[in-house]
Chain A
């Protein structure tokens, strides 16, 4: 087994996902197949090979730290499932 149901439940918790027992079971099975497949990468010797995170090397795409027009507050809040015109409202955090 490449991955256990326990690990799937743990990772789901990290990802803020709730899986039903059936989902845990089918996900574990599917992930096991997928992870077994990607094991293929271990056929390759990658000693000393630099990882690529971006196909094109760009560095520091900065701009001057000047205030510019942004989204007006009411537009930014408009899609909020719950807001009080100043902020988004969520269940108690602490």
Chain B
């Protein structure tokens, strides 16, 4: 098998044993990118020169006998994270010329661990979207069927992992943006507990919901990435000071004693029968691994989308106020006044979905509407959290579909924002509650489109979902299937 097609853990092993060099590995992935990127369009910015230099540095460190979990491993980074000296756009024209003067904390951690950064992956603008179609740079195509979407907003990251255009990737998840594209592209995607991974250097969309996480070829790789990126950061005031376990130590195939909750509201009307059947298959696999299942109810599930599409735009309207043409990014150069500069810059720089959400958010927070919308949504958020807390008294983790249907066709939903929003119903509650969630491949539709299954657990218990995901992966035996490119 080609080097680019192997998993992170397999490659880390070969690199450590000096069987291969990072230069060879990075070269292999760059060749792969050259061969398929025109058809996949996973990247906004590629940095082959920088990557090869980093690979050489990694080889030097390996030569000195250094060991580090990601030493020499080439990664793709969702373009929502600041990478020093490497253009970062958040998938928006408003940041087209922006070159960050600093690395995000997670990037700093990756670099210390010796990772090689290949480039910046495509995304929905400012992480707002579920199909990666809200991107003025590139719209990634699903490697399993290029007439279909990759999902979003971390669509580029998911596509790159699925197409072997990187060994692993980072994405961000605010309402499902790691888990949903992971599910649509047949890769593993993990959203950590809120506060588990530092948001310093993440271009913020909704500050109480955003989390950074890995997209990988298998569960072991996700655990390895988590070991590196998780941890307290004094520069993120929402970062939680708890020790980081070795997430690879919890991977097991025996789930005796584990109680898996099946939330009935996640299996309602609108769920594609093929998705339902694939998820039931996964439930059976967990039972065969020794887990006990229990019926659970999360009664406020159906209200999550409504609450989210007030809270997230409200927070975004505040976060995106900084894009004003003053300190960085695009500026309209003909303004007659300061106010006009703000208006023209923002109107020209932001795409339609971003403008839509800024307007919803501004409206929901404006005087006269704040109570009816933002406050109400925040109260419903409390009810959703209480549902989960009650559920976790009866079970260790929850299993459900990730998304009601497999990946839809390009342009199929782009004319109707609301129908796009409704497809996030199964992933949004996780973010509202700040819980960890993982999507792991569990099957395919009749037409060959990937289907993922979602596991959620209580705060700071990523070990539980990684453990069950690993057991599933081992039993389902589909992890080595690759798209034909």
Chain A contact residues, CB within 8 Å of chain B: 3, 7-8, 11-12, 14-19, 23, 27, 30-31, 33-35, 37-44, 46, 49-56, 58, 61, 63, 71, 75-76, 78-82, 88, 90-93
A66–B294 CA distance with the chains assembled, in angstroms:
53
> Which among A37, A51, A90 is the interface contact of B338 at CB below 8 angstroms?
A90
Write the nearest CB–CB distance from A43 to chain B, whole angstroms. 8
- Asked whether B208 is an interface residue with its Cβ less than 8 Å from the other chain, the reply is yes
Write the nearest CB–CB distance from B424 to chain A, whole angstroms. 13
Whether B208 contacts A79 by the Cβ 8 Å rule is no
Q: Which of A16, A51, A91 has the most CB of B within 10 A?
A: A16
> Which among A18, A38, A71, A91 is the interface contact of B101 at CB below 8 angstroms?
A71
- Which residue on B lies nearest to A26, using beta carbons? B352
Within 8 A of A (CB), among B395-444: 417-418, 421, 432-435
- Chain A residues with CB under 8 Å of B432's CB are 55
- Asked whether B355 is an interface residue with its Cβ less than 8 Å from the other chain, the reply is yes
- Chain A residues with CB under 8 Å of B193's CB are 56
- Which residue on A lies nearest to B299, using beta carbons? A44
Write the nearest CB–CB distance from A1 to chain B, whole angstroms. 14
Within 8 A of A (CB), among B350-396: 350, 352, 355-356, 358-360, 362-363, 366, 373, 375-383, 385
A52–B309 CA distance with the chains assembled, in angstroms:
15
- Chain A residues with CB under 8 Å of B378's CB are 51-53
Q: Which of A14, A23, A58, A81 has the most CB of B within 10 A?
A: A81
Whether B328 contacts A79 by the Cβ 8 Å rule is yes
Q: Can you give 5 contacting A-B residue pairs, CB < 8 Å?
A: A15-B362, A42-B376, A46-B380, A49-B382, A54-B194
A33–B238 CA distance with the chains assembled, in angstroms:
34
- Which residue on A lies nearest to B240, using beta carbons? A56
Number of chain B residues whose Cβ lies closer than 8 Å to a Cβ of chain A: 74
Write the nearest CB–CB distance from B305 to chain A, whole angstroms. 8
Whether A37 contacts B382 by the Cβ 8 Å rule is no
Whether B359 contacts A12 by the Cβ 8 Å rule is yes
A49–B468 CA distance with the chains assembled, in angstroms:
34
Identify which of B15-23, B68-76, B134-142, B339-347 touches chain A: B339-347
**Ranked 9 nearest A-B pairs via Cβ:** A55-B434, A51-B378, A79-B328, A61-B237, A81-B331, A46-B379, A75-B101, A16-B342, A18-B347
A64–B346 CA distance with the chains assembled, in angstroms:
37
Write the nearest CB–CB distance from B85 to chain A, whole angstroms. 11
Write the nearest CB–CB distance from B59 to chain A, whole angstroms. 30
- Asked whether B459 is an interface residue with its Cβ less than 8 Å from the other chain, the reply is yes
Kindly supply a per-residue 1/0 record for chain B positions 190-216, scoring 1 wherever the CB is within 8 Å of any chain A CB and 0 otherwise. Answer: 000111000000000000100000000
- Chain A residues with CB under 8 Å of B359's CB are 8, 11-12, 15, 17, 27, 31
